[in-house]
Amino acid sequence: MSRQFFGTDGIRGVPGTSPLDDATLFALGRSVAEYLHRDHSSPHALIGTDTRESGPHIASVVAAGLAHGGASVSSAGVLTTPGVACLVRQNDFHVGVVVSASHNPYQDNGVKLFSHEGMKFPDSVEEEIEAGILKHRAEKTAFSLPALRPDDSLHHQYLKFLHDRVIPGAPLKGLRVVLDCANGAAYQLGPELFASLGCDVVCIGVEPDGRNINAACGSLHLEKLQQRVPVERAAFGVAFDGDADRSLFVSSDGKIVNGDGVLLAVARYLKSQNKLPGNRVVATSMSNLGLERVLAHENISLARTNVGDRYVLEEMLKSGNVIGGEQSGHVIFLDDSPAGDGLLTAVKIASLISLKAASILSSPASRTIHKLSST
């Protein structure tokens, strides 16, 4: 059955027009609540948004639909997509709702859904929710918008989760890092996280105005970061997209390191620690042949899937692999989270770089991250 609303990464569109018109969004909330009521007498939803000016209204309409369907709703305010997925998994939320269009310009927006396990719903569930949307949208039910008051404690909980994902023994204090937060969902979390780790943090893209998300900044526009990292004499730079589910890196001399480079660095480290099950990494059909050849030379195999993080995750779960991702910078550390998380990836890469002189690495991480720019 073909899906009318859901694509590979949730529902996307232009706010105010289908499928992001109020009638459809309200029907979405009702349909999700009805689905949850199958297994939960009192379903509880968590909603987060990125910094687009259309986000609060969309979140309120979906929340109204959820409440009409008998679900209670909590708000995380502005939070990254993987942050919502993490909090749903760690608490008693039954669904996570993220209002974001990721790397798209501010004129676009979207809605992503996450199960209690922190993963996107399977196609069959999305089809069922779509059927409910079509039914309820035709009913034209009147509704009022609830006031969503963010629970700041959720931000602290997510930051603690990230803080605890530093590789043990990594000396991050004093590490100079440049962050480009894309004027998006990571604009507060990114600087707070790396400052709490003792890093010397330089920030760009941390002044969102509702319309400048991803505008000449972030993971699609690395030019400013490439210029800034050498000037600041930073160990590395990292750029997130609007909802921070992906990250791309810049080496100390200004060279770009994409998701393939991250997979190579992490795979080498995990293999050196005997923590790479089957000596296997999962990527997509878009990954560079050079990555496959370098990994093969080091007796690490590369499995390829269709493009899309859900397909990478499906293969990882099926085969028991712990690291996988996309060239675009969407990387999954399955031992930590089933969701691709740009901030988590940045913590891991910062750890590897800070460990460059330690004997536990098979090669210095600073040299590794530099070499990856030409992979």
Catalytic site residues? 102
Instruction: Give the rounded distance of the alpha carbon of 110 from its chain centre.
Output: 14
Report the chain's C-alpha Rg in angstroms. 20
Question: 3-state class of 373 per DSSP?
Answer: coil
Strands 236-240 and 95-99: unpaired
The side-by-side arrangement of strands in the sheet containing 280-284 is 301-305, 280-284, 323-325, 331-333
Strands 323-325 and 331-333: antiparallel
Amino acid found at 207: E
- Number of C-alpha atoms within 13 angstroms, CB side, residue 238? 31
Helices (H), 73-201: 81-90, 123-137, 152-163, 189-196
d(CA 362, CA 276): 14
Question: 3-state class of 210 per DSSP?
Answer: coil
DSSP assigned state of 145: P
The side-by-side arrangement of strands in the sheet containing 200-204 is 200-204, 176-180, 236-240, 247-251, 256-257
**Contact yes or no for 195/201 (Cβ under 8 A):** yes
Token pair belonging to 138: 């035709």
d(CA 186, CA 100): 12
Token pair belonging to 238: 């990292």
